């Protein structure tokens, strides 16, 4: 870690689910204790690339701040801020966009998937990964925690650092990926797909604010198979293996230990064990989110301070960039 700088962002779209928590946020919490400078951004500029409702966006931003704090993000160790409040993100994005060719963006996953769903897409959706590159480079970040699905976007940020440096002289370090655990949480209803907030099926995702009853019901309905013994084999038994993954992660034990605790239980009885582990882990988080949401002034204060600190870090970098570009 040494003098590494970590940057990551999350869109303010709804309550994080177990996949987000185990695949990203838990790692964010660990990183804030390992690196001297860590920035976590609620990336509201990214979230307006899809149709949106201003009232909802405003409350989603505060809700996401509450979720992140409740999951253990500590504003003393990490700068937690709102992307749109630091206008340098948009300005650097424009400059980097002028160094990006159209074909370079056409094959990136964000555009391919989301524009197809809509059969069209905005310019903002198309250049979404350029804004991500700007987010990262604006703080001269060296390490970026990402899921596998974001690796190609990080490669664009690396390319743009190199291209900018070649054009205008060395400014940006090339950021490297910190692949967050390969632990993939699957949909409870279709365990061959990942758990996702865009899953159209009901009861397919567990969010970090689900009540104990919701958690129990969703796990009871989770798809398994016709073998009652519990084993871990994601290829042939994705449903049961997903339960083992969730159990192990929530109880903070190894997969082997989880399987051994399941010995003698059929999948129905095992679901109760998994339910207990999930409830134990999520209850304090859910209660903390409720507490934080009841104190909006506090949340706004945390963000305002983060915005100020991010702004202070961004300003000299943007000044340097502007000089190099010739403004
Ligand atoms: P979603 O697919 O629900 O929209 P995002 O794309 O917003 O989730 O993901 C935010 C972060 O959470 C990313 O780092 C991503 O890799 C991680 N993540 C999302 N879904 C899962 C999952 N099912 N298992 C593990 N990590 C996940
Ligand atoms: Na997504």
Same-domain check for residues 240 and 307: no
Same-domain check for residues 125 and 38: yes
Q: Order of strands across the sheet with 176-179?
A: 79-82, 37-42, 5-10, 143-146, 176-179
Is 91 part of a structural domain of the chain?
yes
Report the C-alpha gap between 251 and 186 in whole angstroms: 17
Is 134 part of a structural domain of the chain?
yes
DSSP-based three-state secondary structure for 18: helix
Q: Which residue has the higher pLDDT, 285 or 109?
A: 285
* Closest listed ligand to the CA of 188: 1
Q: pLDDT class for 118, splitting at 50, 70, 90?
A: low
Q: Is 46 in the pocket of ligand 1 (CB under 6 A)?
A: no
* Closest listed ligand to the CA of 20: 1
DSSP-based three-state secondary structure for 43: coil
Pocket-testing residue among 13, 14, 23, 67, ligand 1, by greatest number of atoms within 8 A of Cβ = 23
At residue 60, does pLDDT exceed 80? Answer: yes
Residue with the smallest CA separation from ligand 1 atom 21 is 19
Same-domain check for residues 85 and 224: no
Same-domain check for residues 174 and 44: yes
Same-domain check for residues 320 and 276: no
Q: 296-325 vs 151-168: helix axis angle to the nearest 10?
A: 40
Is 189 part of a structural domain of the chain?
no
Same-domain check for residues 276 and 301: no
Decide if 184 is catalytic: no
Report the C-alpha gap between 71 and 91 in whole angstroms: 31
**For residue 249, what are the domain limits?**
212-290
Is 104 part of a structural domain of the chain?
yes
Residue 281 has, within 13 A of its CA and on its CB side, a CA count of 24
Q: pLDDT class for 109, splitting at 50, 70, 90?
A: confident
Same-domain check for residues 43 and 61: yes
Is 281 part of a structural domain of the chain?
yes
Same-domain check for residues 125 and 145: yes
- Residue in this structure with the two tokens 């969010």, named with its chain if needed: 207
Active-site residue, selected from the candidate residues 56, 85, 114, 184: 114
Q: What is the pLDDT of residue 182?
A: 67
Q: How far is the CA of 229 from the centre of ligand 2 (A)?
A: 34
At residue 97, does pLDDT exceed 70? Answer: yes
Q: How far is the CA of 60 from the centre of ligand 1 (A)?
A: 17
Same-domain check for residues 102 and 179: yes
What does the pLDDT average to over 98-102?
Answer: 96
| Nearest alpha carbon to residue 207 among 48, 33, 36, 13 | 13
Decide if 85 is catalytic: no
Q: Is 285 in the pocket of ligand 1 (CB under 6 A)?
A: no
Is 197 part of a structural domain of the chain?
no
* CATH code assigned at 254: 1.10.240.10
Each residue's pLDDT tens digit, 180-209 = 766 789 999 999 999 998 888 889 999 999
Cα 275–chain centre separation: 24
Same-domain check for residues 282 and 306: no
Cα 235–chain centre separation: 25
Decide if 197 is catalytic: yes
Same-domain check for residues 276 and 316: no
Active-site residue, selected from the candidate residues 140, 186, 194, 293: 194
Is 190 part of a structural domain of the chain?
no
Is 86 part of a structural domain of the chain?
yes
Q: How far is the CA of 37 from the centre of ligand 1 (A)?
A: 24
* Number of domains within the chain: 2
At residue 147, does pLDDT exceed 90? Answer: no
Q: Which residue has the higher pLDDT, 262 or 201?
A: 262
Q: pLDDT class for 1, splitting at 50, 70, 90?
A: low
Same-domain check for residues 28 and 134: yes
Report the C-alpha gap between 209 and 121 in whole angstroms: 32
* CATH code assigned at 143: 3.40.50.620
Percentage of the chain modeled with pLDDT above 70:
98
Q: How far is the CA of 325 from the centre of ligand 1 (A)?
A: 36
User: Mean pLDDT in the chain?
Assistant: 95
Strands 143-146 and 79-82, sheet pairing: unpaired
């Amino acid at each position: 870690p040494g003098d590494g700088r970590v940057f990551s962002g999350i869109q303010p779209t709804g309550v994080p689910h177990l996949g987000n928590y185990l695949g990203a946020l838990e790692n964010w919490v660990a990183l804030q204790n390992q690196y001297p400078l860590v920035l976590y951004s609620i990336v509201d500029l990214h979230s307006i690339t899809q149709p949106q409702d201003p009232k909802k966006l405003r409350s989603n931003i505060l809700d996401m701040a509450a979720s992140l704090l409740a999951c253990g993000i500590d504003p003393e160790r990490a700068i937690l801020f709102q992307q749109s409040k630091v206008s340098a993100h948009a300005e650097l994005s424009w400059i980097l966009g002028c160094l990006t060719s159209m074909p370079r963006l056409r094959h990136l996953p964000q555009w391919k998937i989301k524009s197809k769903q809509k059969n069209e897409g905005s310019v903002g959706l198309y250049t979404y990964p350029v804004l991500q590159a700007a987010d990262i480079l604006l703080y001269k970040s060296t390490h970026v925690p990402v899921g596998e699905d974001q690796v190609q976007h990080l490669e664009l940020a690396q390319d743009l650092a190199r291209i900018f440096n070649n054009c205008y002289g060395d400014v940006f370090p090339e950021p490297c990926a910190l692949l967050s655990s390969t632990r993939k949480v699957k949909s409870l209803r279709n365990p061959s797909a990942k758990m996702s907030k865009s899953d159209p099926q009901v009861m397919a995702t567990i969010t970090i604010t689900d009540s104990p009853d919701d958690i129990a019901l969703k796990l009871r309905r989770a798809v398994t198979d016709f073998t009652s013994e519990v084993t871990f084999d994601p290829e042939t038994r994705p449903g049961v293996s997903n339960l083992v993954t969730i159990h192990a992660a929530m109880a903070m034990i190894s997969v082997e230990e989880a399987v051994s605790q399941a010995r003698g239980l059929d999948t129905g009885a095992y679901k109760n064990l998994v339910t207990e582990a999930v409830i134990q882990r999520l209850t304090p988080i859910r209660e903390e989110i409720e507490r934080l949401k009841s104190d909006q002034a506090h949340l706004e204060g945390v963000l305002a301070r983060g915005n100020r600190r991010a702004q202070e870090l961004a300003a000299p970098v943007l000044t340097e960039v502007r000089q190099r570009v010739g403004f």
